[in-house]
């Protein structure tokens, strides 16, 4: 069946993988990538599919309600998969308002545009909001986030995502808008902007720069290969129950310091450096304020109800990811020139 789907944030890390999956798997769909191309948006991520007949790019800022409405009026989409966001916790600590504008107001603008366009008949329509496990707050040494875990965000980033989730539920409860949500753990993989842990460390190892580990490095994250997240979004968008959320995670917890050591080991092998070379670059630096100790997802619901499970092990995924960065040095050079240098100096000055 043909469908028109607006994917927001399709030029970003996860969005580009979702766009690629939908454009290639569903040639009968028209995929409209709506993205403002902020520092995190990069059309180079989509070079391989940009001339596909079922792919369209629209540059627009979701904070601008008129611009959003114009794109909805032009394409009359049946579905929205909403990934556009300010996504980096450290940036949210220095510029929280940017997160309120894009993540909260931008989401409400999209909800309004969908509600207005679909008001006569919600049949066959779907608004999929892509969110994070960080809305649930932090875990201690044990336990998992389930779909029933109470929201308890700590950073301005997670507070803005929690707020956007609440608006999505409110539009379902108040107006009957057919929504689904996914709350996913930390992703990694190709095209990840090198402000986040894994690509930042890969970039620094390549360039023999210090590897800045926050605090004591005991903070724990649950890592998922980005293509497995895209597969989960595909399933939930098509088969998820309206009004519900699905937790998505890798069943794959790592303390930051152990993860960085694994990366060092794999990269020493790939770069043919003597074992132990890159580990010497590890530098413990000032901690992030309000740093959440541990995230871990119970992905039992999406597994049981929709049959989803991660398709690659962490070692395989990490190896593929490192290979991608080593094979795409030009991409890495482009995104780390200019504004990135100023960001890095400011963030890691201490
Ligand atoms: P990203 O920062 O790599 O990409 C964000 C994209 O959104 C960019 O292309 C950017 O240009 C676009 N964008 C930002 N502000 C915009 C605006 N005002 N209007 C239009 N476009 C705008 O982010 P990501 O890591 O790919 O995350 C995508 C989504 O998934 C986000 O909603 C994030 O909260 C969620 N998420 C991310 C992770 C993760 O580990 N990265 C985990 C769970 C959930
Ligand atoms: P990050 O990739 O920013 O994702 P999130 O904060 O959304 O989980 O960070 C992952 C973990 O790595 C987090 O505990 C913070 C830590 N971290 C460092 O130790 N050093 C760094 O330079 C960065 C960017 C993150």
Please tell me whether residue 285 adopts helix, strand or coil conformation: strand
For residue 342, give the H/E element and its range.
helix 339-347
pLDDT band at 285 (very low <50, low <70, confident <90, very high): very high
- Regarding the beta carbon of 37 and ligand 1, being less than 6 Å apart is answered yes
Question: Which residues does residue 254 pair with via DSSP β-bridges, in sequence order?
Answer: 221
- Regarding the beta carbon of 63 and ligand 1, being less than 6 Å apart is answered yes
The reported pLDDT for the residue numbered 338 is 86
Average pLDDT over residues 169-185: 98
The reported pLDDT for the residue numbered 151 is 98
User: What are the backbone angles phi and psi of residue 6, rounded to the nearest 5°?
Assistant: -90, 125
Which tokens sit at 320? 């593929």
The half-sphere exposure of 304 on its side-chain side, counting CA atoms within 13 A, is 6
Number of CB atoms found within 10 A of residue 332's CB = 18
Beta carbons of 135 and 164 less than 8 angstroms apart: no
187 CA from centroid of ligand 1 (Å): 12
83 CA from centroid of ligand 2 (Å): 20
Beta strands in 48-178 (DSSP E): 55-59, 79-82, 126-132
Task: Point out the ligand nearest to the CA of residue 347.
Answer: 2
* Class of the CATH-defined domain 4-191+223-251+296-312+338-347: alpha beta
Average per-residue pLDDT in the chain?
A: 97
Beta strands in 22-163 (DSSP E): 30-35, 55-59, 79-82, 126-132
User: What are the backbone angles phi and psi of residue 10, rounded to the nearest 5°?
Assistant: -70, -10
- Regarding the beta carbon of 106 and ligand 1, being less than 6 Å apart is answered yes
Position 295 pLDDT exceeds 90? yes
Percent helix, strand, coil in the chain, to 5, is 45, 15, 35
* 189-236 confidence digits (pLDDT tens): 999 999 999 999 999 999 999 999 999 999 999 999 999 999 999 999
Beta strands in 83-175 (DSSP E): 126-132
Average pLDDT over residues 20-34: 98
Average pLDDT over residues 17-30: 98
User: What are the backbone angles phi and psi of residue 81, rounded to the nearest 5°?
Assistant: -120, 110
131 CA from centroid of ligand 1 (Å): 10
Which tokens sit at 88? 């980096």
The reported pLDDT for the residue numbered 300 is 98
Number of H helices, E strands in the chain: 13, 12
pLDDT band at 349 (very low <50, low <70, confident <90, very high): confident
Beta carbons of 18 and 29 less than 8 angstroms apart: no
Nearest protein CA to atom 3 of ligand 2, as residue? 196
pLDDT band at 1 (very low <50, low <70, confident <90, very high): confident
Beta carbons of 129 and 107 less than 8 angstroms apart: yes
251 CA from centroid of ligand 2 (Å): 18
Query: Of 114, 324, 288, which Cα lies nearest the Cα of 215?
Result: 288
Number of CB atoms found within 10 A of residue 309's CB = 12
At which residue do the structure tokens 């707050």 appear? 137
* 111-141 confidence digits (pLDDT tens): 999 999 999 999 999 999 999 999 999 999 9
Give every CB contact of residue 83 below 8 A, 6+ residues apart in sequence.
7, 8, 9, 10, 12, 14, 15, 18, 130
Give every CB contact of residue 245 below 8 A, 6+ residues apart in sequence.
131, 147, 165, 180, 181, 182, 183
Task: Point out the ligand nearest to the CA of residue 185.
Answer: 1
Average pLDDT over residues 302-309: 98
pLDDT band at 65 (very low <50, low <70, confident <90, very high): very high
Position 350 pLDDT exceeds 80? no
For Cα atoms 271, 274, 280, give the angle at the middle one, nearest 5 degrees: 95
Which tokens sit at 254? 């790592």
- Regarding the beta carbon of 79 and ligand 1, being less than 6 Å apart is answered no
Query: Of 191, 256, 249, which Cα lies nearest the Cα of 218?
Result: 256
- Regarding the beta carbon of 131 and ligand 2, being less than 6 Å apart is answered no
């Amino acid at each position: 069946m043909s469908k028109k789907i607006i994917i927001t944030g399709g030029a970003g890390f996860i969005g580009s993988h979702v766009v690629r999956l939908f454009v290639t798997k569903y040639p009968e769909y028209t995929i409209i990538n709506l993205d403002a191309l902020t520092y995190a948006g990069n059309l180079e991520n989509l070079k391989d599919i940009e001339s596909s007949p079922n792919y369209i790019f629209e540059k627009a800022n979701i904070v601008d309600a008129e611009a959003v409405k114009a794109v909805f009026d032009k394409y009359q989409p049946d579905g929205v998969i909403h990934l556009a966001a300010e996504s980096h916790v450290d940036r949210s600590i220095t510029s929280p308002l940017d997160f309120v504008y894009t993540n909260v107001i931008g989401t409400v603008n999209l909800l309004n545009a969908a509600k207005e366009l679909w008001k006569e008949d919600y049949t066959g329509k779907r608004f999929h909001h892509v969110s994070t496990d960080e809305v649930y707050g932090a875990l201690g040494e044990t336990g998992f986030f389930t779909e029933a875990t109470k929201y308890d965000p700590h950073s301005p980033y997670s507070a803005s995502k929690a707020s956007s989730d609440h608006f999505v539920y409110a539009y379902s409860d108040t107006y009957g808008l057919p929504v689904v949500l996914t709350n996913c753990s930390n992703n990694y993989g190709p095209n990840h902007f090198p402000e986040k842990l894994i690509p930042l460390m890969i970039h620094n190892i390549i360039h023999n720069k210090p590897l800045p580990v926050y605090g004591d490095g005991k903070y724990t994250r649950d890592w998922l290969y980005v293509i497995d997240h895209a597969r989960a979004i595909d399933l939930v968008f098509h088969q998820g129950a309206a009004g519900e959320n699905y937790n998505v995670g890798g069943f794959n917890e790592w303390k930051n310091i152990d993860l960085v050591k694994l990366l060092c080991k794999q990269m020493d092998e790939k770069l043919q450096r003597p074992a132990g070379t890159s580990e010497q670059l590890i530098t413990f630096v000032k901690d992030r304020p309000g740093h959440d100790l541990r995230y871990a997802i119970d992905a039992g619901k999406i597994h049981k109800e929709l049959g989803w499970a991660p398709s690659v092990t962490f070692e395989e995924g990490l190896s593929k990811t490192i290979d991608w960065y080593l094979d795409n040095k030009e991409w890495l050079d482009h995104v780390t020139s200019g504004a990135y240098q100023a960001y890095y100096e400011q963030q890691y000055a201490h």
